[in-house]
Every structure is written in C-alpha cells, then in structure tokens.
Amino acid sequence: MITIFDKVRDVDFISVFVRMVFAFTCGGVIGLERSYKNRPAGFRTHILVCIGATIASMTGVFLYLEQNIPTDVSRIGAQVVSGLGFIGAGTIIVTKKPKVKGLTTAAGLWATGIIGLAIGAGFYEGAIIATALILITETGFFRFGRRIKHEPEYVIYLSYHHKPALDSVLRYCKDHKMAITNLQVEGTNDSEGSIYSAKIFLHPRSGAIVDKEKLIESVKNTKGVKESKIEARVYLAGLKGLK
C-alpha cells in the first residue's frame, strides 16, 4: 500500500473531506469522457453515483467504528451494488432498428459506483487503478473493438404450407455448419389452407464461412417454401444492426 494515504484512512473530518473530493474527481473524470460522446449518463451522473457510493461505504464503517453498533460494514455497500443495476438499466436504449445502446455507459456507471465504495473504505490505490483502467477501456479500446471481425447472426423469415419445407431448411443449415439459436413458428389460415410463418435465428459455427447469396438461393428453391427473406445482423462494440 502507498504510505502517503495512511493518514486519511481513518474516519475523521479530514479523511471524509479527502474521500469526497477524491470521489468527485474520479467520477468526474469518467463522466467527462461519457459526456464528450453524448452518452445518456454523463458528467454529473457519474459524480453523483461515485459520491453516493462513497458516503454509503463510509456510513457502514462509521456505524461500526464510531457508534459501536454491531453491524456488517459491507451490508450497505452490497445494497449499493444492487441499486446501481437499476440506474444502469435506465441508460440502455433499444431502438427501432434493432439496436441496443448504452451498455458501455451502464457498465461504466456500475464500475464508478464500485470505485466510490473503494474510496469510502479507504482503498485509494484500488480506486486510482480502476479509474485509469476504465478510462483506457472507454477511450483507447473504442476503435480497437470496432475493428474486431464479428460473424453475423442470420435470420431467415420463412412462409410455407407443409412442415417438410421447414425441416429441409433446418437440415440445410445444420449441414452447412450453422447453429440454430432460436426458432419461432406461427400458423394461420388463408384461401389455400394452413400457412406457417417461421423465424429462424442462425449463427455460424466456429471456423465456418457462410455464403449469404448461396443460402438465399437454397432457401428460396426449397420445395414447399412460399416466401423467404434473410437478414444478417452484425454485433459491433455493443451495438446490433442489420447488414
């Protein structure tokens, strides 16, 4: 441990002041990066989360050391961790396209709260290292993450009259090393009799290369298939979009 922090690990006015300022600084630094990118939770939100977690952590320590109340000093901190999940959920947005935004911000808020707990407990070294690593992750790894190649998830929309048509499509997918991650089937009636609609979610197995054009042609020419459409969904840096 760094000895310079030993004088401000006790619960007194100077120590409380230092911890609050430290929480303000760590939360503000992380929040600035989020505000710069126009994320749902920015500068003020991160500061409030970090300060709130800090005072919660210090309250548990104060009750145990100064008030001699027999209590678990980590219990209040544990409730803070649970509560941060609700705050983070408010930053996650699902758009019409199917896109999911705000996951990184939610994780950053949660981590900022944990940093606040560490500061409140006097664990300054851990708070400093965590703050630095979070900043590196949110800034330095942003472009790096977008360069990582992701295999798309394919979604096949299928209309057919008889079950063997669906079986043939599923068999083709399995034979070409595509894992079926989800399957949704609905049935209705029209002038030609019963008609079924299926939504098949596929993901290439490890090392498999999918030829989208060939997949489209094979599904379209499958006996019994009335209509078909295929979408490729790509996951990049926490976002899901259509390709």
Q: In what order do the strands lie in the sheet with 239-242?
A: 178-190, 193-204, 153-160, 225-236, 239-242
Q: What is the DSSP string of the chain?
A: --GGGGGGSSSSHHHHHHHHHHHHHHHHHHHHHHHHTT-SS-HHHHHHHHHHHHHHHHHHHHHHHTS-----TTHHHHHHHHHHHHHHHTT-EE-SSS-EE-HHHHHHHHHHHHHHHHHHTT-HHHHHHHHHHHHIIIIIHHHHHHHS--PPEEEEEEEESSHHHHHHHHHHHHHTTEEEEEEEEEEEEETTEEEEEEEEEEEEPTT----HHHHHHHHHTSTTEEEEEEEEEEEETTEEEE-
pLDDT tens track, the chain, 243 positions: 777 777 787 878 888 899 999 999 999 999 888 888 777 677 888 899 999 999 988 888 888 777 777 767 677 878 888 888 777 777 766 555 556 667 788 888 889 999 999 999 888 999 999 999 998 888 877 666 566 666 677 888 888 888 888 888 888 888 888 888 888 888 887 666 678 888 888 888 876 777 778 888 888 888 888 888 887 765 443 334 434
**pLDDT tens for residues 118-166?**
999 888 999 999 999 998 888 877 666 566 666 677 888 888 888 888 8
Report pTM. Answer: 0.61
Domains and CATH numbers, the chain: 3-147 (no CATH), 153-242 (3.30.70.260)
**pLDDT tens for residues 203-219?**
888 767 777 788 888 88
